[in-house]
Structure formats: structure tokens, C-alpha cells
Amino acid sequence: MLWIFYLRQGTGRMDKEIKENMVRVCQHLMKMLNLASEAFRKPTEKSFKEAEEVKNRILQYSSELASFIISKSPSSEKGKGSAKPYLSIASSLDRMTYNIEGILDRLRAKSEKHILFSERAVKEVNDIFQETIRLLEYLPNLIATENKLLGQRIGEEGRSVFEIVNTYSEEHEERLIQGICEPEHSPIYLGILESLKGVTVHILEVSGKIVSISSKS
């Protein structure tokens, strides 16, 4: 099965250079997500500009990752098939970028319209930010080690984030019905939570693909 060699090392593990490229994208995603978290706590034009610069680097690195994966794949049908899980990972990393960009767009609108969240809403958004950041921080280690137990942990903690986001959203909608929350604040609050949930969805997709690739070694 010569075609496998191009995407996997002789030990049966993911190709070292592909790993390094994936880790580089993940590290910049972590930086962008941390900048978004900082912009939520204290929005400044500098933080938005820096996040935009990091986003552009991520898109460049992600494009380079996809091109590198394709270059390592033989032109045979089996070779093309072997590249699909890796390209799927690259695609999920891209989608994380756009989800974080969506958060930043809402934070900019929040700042420009001088919208203030309640203490409860601030705490809830901060909670989900921290949980999502922690999950994203697992990915470089998972990529480096292909540790299935770590993959399981990411899955369990990610599903917990989904449950928390759903609970916060439902409780917010109930407060909205009761007239406790301002209707104009709701789309921004819910949009931030849904975008953080979207980041988590793609973290789990990347984790699942890595575990699946490792299981075939």
C-alpha cells in the first residue's frame, strides 16, 4: 500500500510535516480566540485589528496546509482518497476561523452601539469562552500524540459545552419573554454563544478525524 506512505510516516503515524502545519494553524486559532475573549472583556480598535491580522495569517497557513496535503498525495484514486480526512481537518480549521470572525463582528457591533450585557450574560459568555479556549488548547497535543484517550476527553468536554450553551440560550430566551432582557441585545448575545458552539463543533470534528486516522495505523 505505497499510497499510504505519502501521508503517514513509516511508524504508521501522521506525517510529521503535516502535523507541524496543523499545529501552526491551531496555535494561531488559539491566539485569535484569546484576542476575541479579550475584546469581549475590553474592546479596543487595537484588539480588533490584531485579531484581523491573525485571521489573515490563519487563512494563509490553512491554504498552505491544504496545498501541502495535496502535494503529498499520489494521483491515484486511492491516493486521493487517503488525503480526504486530512483535507477535512483543514476545512474544519478554516470554519473555526470564520466562527471566531463572527464573534469579533458581533463584538464590534456591541462596542459601536454601546450595548451593555447584564452581569449574568457577561459571566455566561466568559464561561463559554474559557471552555472553548481550553478545548482548542488540547488540539496541538492531540495532533502531536494521536492519543485516543485525549480524543475521548475532548469529545466528552465538547458535548458538555453544547449542553451549557443550550441551557444558557434557553434561559436567555425565557428572560427575554419575561421582559428581563433587552430585545436588541439578544441577537448579539445568542450569536456569540452560537459561534463559540460552532468552534467547539469543529474542534470535535478535527479530534474525531485524528483519532480515526490513528486507528487505521
Contact 146, 9 (CB under 8 A): no
pLDDT of residue 16: 87
Supply the angle between the helices 16-41 and 45-72 in degrees, to the nearest 10. Answer: 160
Q: What is the pTM of this model?
A: 0.89
Chain centre to alpha carbon of residue 202: 6
CA-to-CA distance for 63 and 58, rounded, in angstroms? 8
Q: What is the number of structural domains in the chain?
A: 1
pLDDT of residue 13: 59
What per-residue string of b and e applies to 24-49 under the rule 16 or more CB within 10 Å gives b?
Answer: bbbbbbbbbbbbbbbbbeebeeebbe
How many C-beta atoms lie closer than 10 Å to residue 97's C-beta?
A: 24
Q: What CATH number corresponds to the domain at position 11?
A: 1.20.58.220
pLDDT of residue 78: 52
pLDDT of residue 2: 31
pLDDT of residue 59: 94
Range of the structural domain that residue 67 is part of: 2-215
Residues of the chain scoring pLDDT < 50: 1-12, 79
pLDDT of residue 122: 95
